[in-house]
């Protein structure tokens, strides 16, 4: 149990550090790399919760495919280091309080519901891929098909955009 | 002491297994370069390496020493962190992916800890493998970008585009196998192909599985192997390091051990892909002969003894004194192992699985080298249109066909 907790906090710290580094880094490639660290740390957290399929897919889809595309585009555009500008007044006076308020809201929400919600046990029972897919194709079949439809529309959109040049 | 061992067996045994596997894999990598140079040399009617040691057998050692002692200059204006990170990432991911591959059927208990001939026998091993291959592109892409060189950048760009394109076909081509086996576990996929008295006909490539719901995966295998060669950046898909266009592509600016790390990573991923092809389509550790043919248990001996005798015969008339001493020694060891397998049947039984597994893996490694010796490189636009317009539709068709057959056989 304590082992699982140690791994949880290590992965959570890695995810948070990656997220901070993502914002602080000045070069787009370094930011993208930090995002990959976040994705992989999240996958580790999923694994700790027993969601092995989601963990693997998290790395394959987000860590692999999507981030490779990000890095590919950044490399293709040859984007250089970003220059820091002075913080805008709007960000200081409206952004900081707003960010604090949102953080407070989310924190309060978690604090209130954590008593009633059963926390998923770290290192708990592995949910098999079979269970997941059975649920996906029986109970949640309409949301699933709708999502596929949405992706199909996006693919068609991409084809139309690419065809316009010819 | 034994209490301590029993308590921490789950930590100690995997660490020992990792060390053993890394040593073996690095040695195989080293001799794979020798095999590759020898084979290509003979394909092109040359001798290949033959100066360092008998038949050039110490050439990998000489290469290794050269890598260590070479100057390692740092090009100007490189992105230092990424430049150093890239080779580590490439090598680490290549070695990690071998961790989920089961090399043999045995399961045994050490200090009360049940283990097998695999570092981690997880039930989503195929997904883990794909997850690691999905990350493997970063080694090449980041090396290309961080080097601050046009050639490297082009190599990195080509590599990432190629990986995105071929990963789809690679993943879809194994869906057929998954549909037949109904599991992500590599061990279960192999056991599903075990059809006792039909031998090799039970493998997924032929598809006469024991539950009667099999379907030949020849199309899936061809798509898988082509996409896998593209994923490992090997000829005819090695556009990331096309030496006639890009000097050396993504590793142009790397020298010494950092270059060697890319090199080792490439050969390790070749081994991983060969293991995967063996497991998914060619029955892993299963013998190609029907289980009732017990005399085929002597195949390892029948291979080893003549090989040993031939090495002795060849060694006795070798030009150098070292060769006349070493080669007969090696031959004797091989022949003695062959005889020992006949004399001790339990040992013979134990190595059957690993023997067939390695035999198949080395066949695929041979095909890799064979292709490098015979095929020209693709042009970049050919590579892209082949991947998207041919390989992807064909692998999707294979998925549809296989699921239709599985549905039909089930009813």
Tell me, what CATH number does A36's domain have? Answer: 1.20.120.1200
Cβ distance of B160 and A36 shorter than 8 Å: no
Task: Say if residue A75 is in the same domain as residue A9.
Answer: yes
Q: H-helix or E-strand containing B411?
A: none
Separation of alpha carbons B317 and B343, rounded Å? 30
Find the distance separating the first CA and the last CA of chain B, reported in whole Å. Answer: 58
Give percent of chain B above pLDDT 70: 98
| A41: number of Cβ within 10 Å | 19
User: Nearest residue of B to residue A58 by CA position?
Assistant: B131
Residue of chain B minimizing CA distance to A78: B145
Best of A55, A75, A125 to substitute, by most chain B Cβ atoms within 10 angstroms, is: A75
CB A96 within 8 A of CB B166: no
Whether residues A137 and A111 fall in one domain: no
Q: What is the mean pLDDT of chain B?
A: 84
Quote the tokens at residue B322: 């070292």
Tell me, yes or no, whether A41 lies in a domain.
Answer: yes
What pLDDT was estimated at residue A165? 63
Flag whether pLDDT at B350 surpasses 90.
no
Q: How many angstroms separate the CA atoms of B399 and B411, rounded?
A: 19
Complex ipTM > 0.90 = no
Structural domain contains residue A46: yes
Instruction: Verify that A33 and A109 share a domain, yes or no.
Output: yes
Confidence of residue B393 (pLDDT cuts 50, 70, 90): very high
Instruction: Give yes or no for residue A146 having a pLDDT over 90.
Output: yes
> Does residue A76 sit in the same domain as residue A145?
no
pLDDT in tens, A69-97: 888 888 888 777 777 776 677 777 888 88
Query: A116 with A55, same domain?
Result: yes
For the segment A120-125, the average pLDDT, to the nearest whole number, is 54
The answer to whether residues A120 and A143 belong to one domain is no
Q: Are residues A42 and A114 in the same domain?
A: yes
**Minimal Cβ distance to B130: which of A29, A60, A69:** A60
Alpha-carbon distance B406 to nearest alpha carbon in chain A (angstroms): 17
Please state, in angstroms and rounded to a whole number, the distance separating the CA atoms of residues B310 and B232.
35
Mean pLDDT of B272-278: 91
Q: Is the pLDDT score of B163 beyond 90?
A: no
CB contact under 8 A, A72 and B141: yes
Measured between CA atoms, how close is B29 to chain A, in angstroms?
Answer: 26
Residue A68 is assigned to a structural domain of this protein: yes
Give the mean pLDDT of chain A.
82
User: Is A134 found in the same domain as A65?
Assistant: no
CB contact under 8 A, B131 and A52: no
Number of domains in chain A: 2
Q: What pLDDT digit, counting tens, does each position of B186-208 carry? A: 888 888 888 777 777 778 777 77
Give the range of the structural domain holding residue A2, as residue numbers without chain letter: 1-80+101-127
* H helix intervals, B215-255: 218-231, 243-246
Residue A19 domain flag? yes
Q: Does A7 touch chain B (CB under 8 A)?
A: no
With 0-12 / 13-18 / 19 or more C-beta atoms within 10 angstroms meaning exposed / middle / buried, residue B400 is exposed
> Average pLDDT in the A16-32 region?
87
Does one domain contain both A112 and A134?
Answer: no
Q: Provide the β-strand partners of residue B114.
A: B109
Interface residue of A72, A80, A137 to substitute, partner B, most B CBs within 10 Å:
A72
Which residue from A64, A75, A129 is facing B156, i.e. has the nearest CB? Answer: A75
Is A134 domain-assigned? yes
Please check the confidence at residue A144 and state whether its pLDDT lies above 60: yes
Closest-CA residue of A relative to B182 is: A130
pLDDT at B314: 83
Minimal-distance CA residue of chain A relative to B184:
A129
Same domain, A135 and A148: yes
Average pLDDT over residues B294-307: 82
Same-domain status, A50 and A105? yes
Residues of chain B whose C-beta is under 8 A from some C-beta in A? 79, 81-82, 122-124, 127-128, 130-131, 133-135, 137-138, 141-142, 144-145, 153, 156-157, 160-161, 163-164, 167, 171, 184
* Residue A13 domain flag: yes
How does residue B394 score in pLDDT terms, banded at 50, 70 and 90? Answer: very high
Q: Which residue of B has its CA nearest to A66?
A: B164
**Higher local confidence (pLDDT), B25 or B81:** B25
Closest Cα in chain B, distance from residue A47 (Å): 11
A30-41 mean pLDDT: 90
Q: Is residue A87 part of a domain?
A: no
Please indicate, yes or no, whether residues A64 and A144 belong to a single structural domain of this protein.
Answer: no
pLDDT (average), residues B61-80:
84
Instruction: Give the C-alpha separation, B358 to B274, whole Å.
Output: 10
> How many CB contacts within 8 angstroms connect chain A with chain B?
76
């Amino acid at each position: 149990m304590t082992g699982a907790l140690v791994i949880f906090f290590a992965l959570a710290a890695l995810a948070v550090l990656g997220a901070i580094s993502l914002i602080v880094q000045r070069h787009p490639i370094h930011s993208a790399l930090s995002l990959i660290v976040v994705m992989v740390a999240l996958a580790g957290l999923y694994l700790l919760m027993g969601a092995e399929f989601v963990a693997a897919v998290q790395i394959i889809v987000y860590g692999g495919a999507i981030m490779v595309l990000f890095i590919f585009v950044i490399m293709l555009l040859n984007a250089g280091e970003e220059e820091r500008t002075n913080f805008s007044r709007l960000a200081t006076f409206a952004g900081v309080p707003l960010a604090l308020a949102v953080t407070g809201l989310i924190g309060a929400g978690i604090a209130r519901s954590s008593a009633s919600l059963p926390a998923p046990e770290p290192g708990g029972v592995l949910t098999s891929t079979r269970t997941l897919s059975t649920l996906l194709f029986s109970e949640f079949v309409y949301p699933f098909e709708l999502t596929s439809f949405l992706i199909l529309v996006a693919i068609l959109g991409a084809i139309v955009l690419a065809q316009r040049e010819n | 002491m034994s209490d301590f061992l029993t308590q921490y067996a789950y930590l100690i045994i995997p660490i020992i297994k990792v060390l053993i596997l890394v040593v073996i894999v690095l040695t195989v990598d080293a001799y794979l370069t020798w095999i590759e140079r020898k084979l290509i040399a003979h394909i092109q009617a040359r001798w290949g390496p033959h100066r360092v040691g008998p038949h050039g057998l110490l050439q990998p050692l000489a290469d290794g020493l050269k890598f260590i002692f070479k100057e390692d200059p740092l090009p100007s204006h490189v992105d230092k962190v990424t430049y150093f990170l890239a080779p580590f990432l490439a090598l680490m991911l290549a070695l990690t992916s071998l961790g989920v591959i089961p090399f043999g059927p045995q399961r045994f208990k050490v200090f009360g800890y049940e283990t097998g001939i695999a570092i981690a026998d997880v039930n989503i091993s195929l997904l883990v493998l794909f997850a690691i291959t999905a990350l493997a592109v970063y080694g090449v892409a980041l090396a290309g970008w961080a080097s601050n060189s046009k050639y490297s950048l082009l190599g990195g760009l080509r590599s990432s585009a190629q990986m995105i394109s071929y990963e789809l076909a690679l993943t879809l081509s194994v869906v057929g196998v998954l549909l037949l086996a109904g599991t992500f576990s590599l061990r279960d996929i192999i056991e599903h192909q075990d059809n006792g008295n039909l031998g090799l006909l039970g493998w997924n490539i032929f598809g006469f599985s024991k539950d009667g719901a099999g379907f030949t995966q020849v199309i899936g295998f061809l798509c898988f192997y082509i996409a896998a060669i593209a994923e490992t950046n090997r000829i005819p898909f090695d556009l990331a390091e096309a030496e006639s266009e890009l000097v050396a592509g993504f590793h142009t600016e790397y020298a010494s051990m950092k270059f060697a790390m890319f090199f080792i990573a490439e050969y390790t991923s070749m081994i991983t892909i060969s293991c995967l092809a063996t497991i998914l389509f060619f029955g892993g550790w299963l013998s190609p002969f029907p289980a009732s043919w017990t005399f085929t248990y002597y195949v390892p001996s029948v291979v080893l003894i003549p090989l040993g005798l031939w090495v002795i015969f060849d060694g006795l008339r070798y030009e150098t004194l070292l060769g006349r001493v070493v080669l007969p020694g090696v031959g004797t060891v091989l022949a003695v192992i062959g005889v020992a397998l006949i004399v001790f049947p339990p040992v013979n039984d134990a190595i059957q699985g690993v023997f067939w597994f390695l035999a198949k893996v080395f066949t695929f490694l041979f095909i890799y080298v064979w292709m490098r010796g015979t095929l020209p490189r693709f042009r970049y636009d050919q590579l892209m249109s082949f991947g998207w317009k041919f390989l992807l539709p064909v692998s999707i068709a294979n998925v549809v066909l296989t699921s239709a057959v599985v549905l039909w056989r089930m009813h």
